[in-house]
């Protein structure tokens, strides 16, 4: 079975540009999570969805960040405008609702110059 | 609130040494407990889990026992290999919840 698929794997762009990260969860999973990982702050939960509805976005750092899940098989995380401090690895994870293990994608390594 | 505390790293061991990575948790009720492993350049992978007190999770030679009395879930392996070099994360989730609480991760390097 295919796991969580994220694209792109790497993104390098200049500050001020819009960045869009994409995620395809595992088929049948109804919960989706976006995380950010940095050396300084470790793994941070940004937002999560259940049945395509955002449940908790308290981890989104500021209004420059937005996330959508238009259907059960696709989600995006957008940063506009991007800043150098947004440089990090962004992970998407999916799971079944409830106390079930999360399955992570391989991440998008984002560098903002 | 719910939280997980892991031992500070990095940890460096020689091949075939015994590994222990400590993990303690704070949570209401009876959470499920997990260990995840992250290899360089990859996402987190589920290593093992335990869902109730005294359960032992095991996988790939790693073990962890859910200790309610000490609120701990320490990861152990009897003989580490170079291929075990990775970052290990302890995590919990409430039985009625959907959000994971991850520890800060412990980096392990195994030298030949």
Q: Which of B45, B89, B99 sits opposite A48 (nearest CB)?
A: B99
Cα angle: B49, vertex B51, B53; to 5 degrees: 115
Question: What CA dihedral angle connects A28, A101, A1 and A74, to 10 degrees?
Answer: 50
Mean pLDDT confidence for A77-101: 94
Rounded-to-integer distance, Cα B38 and Cα A3, Å: 15
Query: Is the model's pLDDT at A99 over the cut of 80?
Result: no
pLDDT at A34: 97
Q: Which residues of A touch B95 (CB under 8 A)?
A: 99
pLDDT at A1: 64
Nearest CA in chain B to A96: B98
Give me the total of CB pairs closer than 8 Å, taking one residue from chain A and one from chain B.
Answer: 52
Residue with tokens 């892991």: B6
pLDDT at B1: 82
Nearest CA in chain A to B87: A42
Q: Do the Cβ atoms of A101 and B49 come within 8 Å?
A: yes
pLDDT at B28: 83
pLDDT at B9: 83
Paired with B34 in beta bridges are: B49, B91
pLDDT band at A62 (very low <50, low <70, confident <90, very high): confident
Cβ–Cβ under 8 Å, residues B75 and B49: no
For A66, the token pair is 């937005």
Q: Do the Cβ atoms of A45 and B100 come within 8 Å?
A: yes
pLDDT at B29: 83
**Cα dihedral across residues A56, B106, B96, B46: positive or negative:** positive
Reported as a single tens digit per residue, the pLDDT across A1-58 is 689 999 999 999 999 999 999 999 999 999 999 999 998 888 999 999 999 999 999 9
pLDDT at B94: 84
Nearest CA in chain B to A40: B104
Reported as a single tens digit per residue, the pLDDT across B2-50 is 899 998 889 999 999 999 999 999 998 889 999 999 999 899 999 999 9
Q: Which residues of A touch B31 (CB under 8 A)?
A: 99
Reported as a single tens digit per residue, the pLDDT across B58-103 is 999 999 999 999 999 999 999 999 999 999 999 999 877 778 899 9
Q: How far is CA A57 from CA A4, A21, A53, A91, B93, in A?
A: 21, 17, 11, 15, 18
Nearest CA in chain A to B32: A99
Q: Do the Cβ atoms of B43 and A4 come within 8 Å?
A: yes
Cα angle: A66, vertex A70, A72; to 5 degrees: 120
Q: Which residues of B touch A105 (CB under 8 A)?
A: 43
């Amino acid at each position: 079975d295919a796991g969580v698929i994220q694209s792109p794997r790497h993104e390098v762009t200049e500050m001020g540009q819009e960045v869009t990260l994409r995620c395809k969860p595992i088929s049948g999973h109804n919960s989706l999570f976006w995380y950010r990982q940095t050396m300084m702050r470790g793994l941070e939960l940004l937002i999560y969805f259940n049945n395509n509805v955002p449940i908790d976005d308290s981890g989104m750092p500021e209004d420059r960040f937005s996330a959508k899940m238009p259907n059960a098989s696709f989600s995006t995380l957008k940063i506009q405008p991007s800043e150098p401090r947004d440089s990090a690895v962004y992970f998407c994870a999916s799971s079944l609702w409830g106390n079930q293990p999360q399955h992570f994608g391989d991440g998008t390594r984002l560098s903002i110059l | 609130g719910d939280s997980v505390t892991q031992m500070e790293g990095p940890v460096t061991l020689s091949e075939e040494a015994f590994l222990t990575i400590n993990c303690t948790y704070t949570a209401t009720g009876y959470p499920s407990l997990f260990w995840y492993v992250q290899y360089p350049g990859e996402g987190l992978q589920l290593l093992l889990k335990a869902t109730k007190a005294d359960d032992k999770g095991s996988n790939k030679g790693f073990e962890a026992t859910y200790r309610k009395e000490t609120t701990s879930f320490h990861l152990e392996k009897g003989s580490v290999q170079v291929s075990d070099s990775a970052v290990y994360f302890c995590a919990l989730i409430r039985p009625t919840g959907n959000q994971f609480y991850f520890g800060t991760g412990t980096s392990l390097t195994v030298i030949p």
